[in-house]
Amino acid sequence: MSEKGLELFEERLTLIDNAIKFKENSRVPIYGLVSNWMLYYLGMSAKEALANPDAEREGYNKAVGEFKFDALLSSLIQLPSVAAKVLGGGSITDNESDVLQIRTSDSELMGPDEYDELIADPVGFMRDKIMPRRHEFLKSGDIEAQYATLKEFYDLGAVRGMQMGKNEQYLKEELGVPVPAAGGGFMPTDIILDYLRDFSGIMVDIRRQPEKVCEASLAMLEPMIKSVDAANPVPRRDKLIAIFTHIPGYISPKAFEIVYWPQFKKYLEHFSSKGHRWMILYEKNWEHLYDFLLDSPKKSILGFFEEDDIFKGKKVLEGSIAFAGGIRTNDLYYKSKQENIDIVKRVIDECAPGGGLVLAPDKVMHTNADGKTENLQAVIDFAQEYGKYK
């Protein structure tokens, strides 16, 4: 264990915490919203990383040390799920790609007339109806064979979990880099979208039976809160409950108010009242929903905004939600080093005063098209100096 590492770890936690609270900071923190892009940086394929976890870990840690991020999305790369293959793939695309992808148009597992069943017993409905519709092997064979398949699935997941846990400890103790994301799950409406009704199904439901979507989401929220409560029994200085949102960017404020906001607000308030803080990935554009966001718990959320205009968003959400962004992946790939520096300079000039700013890529970096190494490095080097509060 390195004393310097732990000291740095504490410094970085303070940077993030101060940003969330809009408190005075020594400099603007930089969040490494980076996933499989690291594979490109390392010149390694996902297949090679899977075959050689030691090389993956060593390469990842070397890259983390070089980029000097103040926090990371994950303690290792998000590899294609070997475990999912054991179940027959599920919703994961098996395409030999280096990116973990969810197969589209393959998740209409629930009918539009089944909402009442989902509302009456969300866990029972998903167990009895959705699980066998998702996985063919659950429709036949004896229970011991099914159990053996599931055990293999969980054993593989546990191995990866241990690798990630062990490396999170290393990142903390030796490199001083926190990995704040704590499991907060997906919001129930997003589970309905991703795994029950698929995109076209839920969009029709939102038009034709929005109250049912809302009721189902609230019914699903109850067991979800219990589960997340148990996983996060007390607030931790090094952890933020993480939520990745999916559907809000596609729906109107009116629809959002009916189907999404009730569960979202209830969820945020439940954990905020206990002192938890959040990192929320507001996927797509949320500018039409700022009136709702302003009613979120204040100074306890680090919001990663994918497509929002940072200059507008930072101003509107000032004093409420800390804004993470300002480094556009598109610019990192297509623009020059100097152009990227100029963009980040403007972000710091206009958005850093008053606190509440964390520099981060606007999207999770997955592929090499999400940014050129030299541009990302140049932006970070620049921001570490220029982003100091005087």
Partner 1 sequence: MADKKYLDKTDYSADMQKLVSVLIERMYGSELSDEEKSRREYGIVTGLIR
By the rule CB under 8 A, 233 interacts with partner 1: no
Do 160 and 213 form a contact (C-beta atoms < 8 A)? no
The verdict on 230 binding partner 1 (CB under 8 A) reads yes
Single out the segment in contact with partner 1 by CB under 8 A; choices: 35-43, 126-134, 290-298, 333-341. 126-134
Min. distance of Cβ 19 from partner 1 in angstroms?
31
Is position 227 an interface residue for partner 1 (rule: CB under 8 A)? Answer: yes
Residues 171, 179 contacting (CB under 8 angstroms) = yes
Residue with Cβ nearer partner 1 (144 or 385): 144
Contact between 165 and partner 1 by CB under 8 A: the answer reads no
Ramachandran quadrant class, 234 (left: phi over 0; alpha: psi -120 to 50; beta: rest): beta
Spatial contact of 263 and 188, defined as CB atoms under 8 Å apart: yes
Candidate segments 41-49, 147-155, 310-318, 348-356, binder of partner 1 by CB under 8 A: 147-155
Query: Is residue 169 close enough to count as binding partner 1 by CB under 8 A?
Result: no
87 binds partner 1 (CB under 8 A): yes
Binding of residue 130 to partner 1 (CB under 8 A):
yes
Residue 198 touches partner 1, criterion: CB under 8 A: yes
**Residue from 51, 131, 159, 204 binding partner 1 (CB under 8 A):** 131
Instruction: Label residue 56 exposed, middle or buried (CB < 10 Å: 0-12, 13-18, 19+).
Output: buried
Residue spans of beta strands (DSSP E) within the chain: 31-32, 71-72, 181-183, 240-244, 278-282, 301-305, 321-327, 357-361
Does residue 91 touch partner 1 according to CB under 8 A? Answer: yes
Q: Which is nearer to partner 1, 185 or 371 (CB)?
A: 185
CA distances, 59 to each of 76, 160, 366 (Å): 10, 17, 16
* CA dist 93 → 11, 301, 305 (Å): 40, 32, 26
Please report whether residue 270 would count as binding partner 1 according to CB under 8 A: no
128, 152, 269, 349: which one binds partner 1 (CB under 8 A)? 128
CA distance 63 to 42: 8
Least CB distance to partner 1 at residue 147 (A) = 6
> Is residue 369 a contact point for partner 1 (CB under 8 A)?
no
State the residue for tokens 């979800």. Answer: 224
Please report how close the Cβ of residue 102 comes to partner 1 at its closest, in angstroms. 8
* Of the candidates 7, 31, 17, 68, the residue with the CA atom closest to the CA atom of residue 355: 17
| Residue 196 interacts with partner 1 (CB under 8 A): yes or no | yes
Out of 123, 159, 162, 204, which residue is the one contacting partner 1 (CB under 8 A)?
A: 123
> Which range binds partner 1 by CB under 8 A, 23-31, 219-227, 265-273, 319-327?
219-227
Q: Distance (Å, rounded) from C-alpha 132 to C-alpha 83? A: 18
- Please report how close the Cβ of residue 46 comes to partner 1 at its closest, in angstroms: 19
- Give me the least distance between CB of 223 and partner 1, in Å please: 4
Distance CA 104, CA 93 (A): 9
Where does residue 190 rank: exposed (0-12), middle (13-18), buried (19+ CB within 10 A)? buried
Measured from the CB atom, is 90 or 325 closer to partner 1?
Answer: 90
29, 90, 178, 248: residue in contact with partner 1 (rule CB under 8 A): 90
Query: Residue 227 belongs to what H/E stretch?
Result: helix 210-231
CB atoms closer than 10 angstroms to residue 288? 13
CB of 284 to partner 1, least distance (A): 21
Q: Is residue 185 a contact residue for partner 1 (CB under 8 A)?
A: yes
Sequence letter at residue 95: N
Alpha carbons 21 and 356: distance in angstroms, whole number: 7
CB neighbourhood size of 264 (10 A):
24
**What is d(CA 148, CA 245) in angstroms, rounded to the nearest whole number?**
34
By the rule CB under 8 A, 134 interacts with partner 1: yes
Q: Is 147 in the site for partner 1 (CB under 8 A)?
A: yes
55 belongs to the binding site for partner 1 (CB under 8 A): no
The residue (of 196 and 327) whose beta carbon lies closer to partner 1 is: 196
Judged by the rule CB under 8 A, the positions of this chain that interact with partner 1 are 84, 87, 90-92, 105-111, 114, 123, 126-135, 138-139, 143, 146-147, 150-151, 154, 185, 191, 194-196, 198, 223-224, 226-227, 230
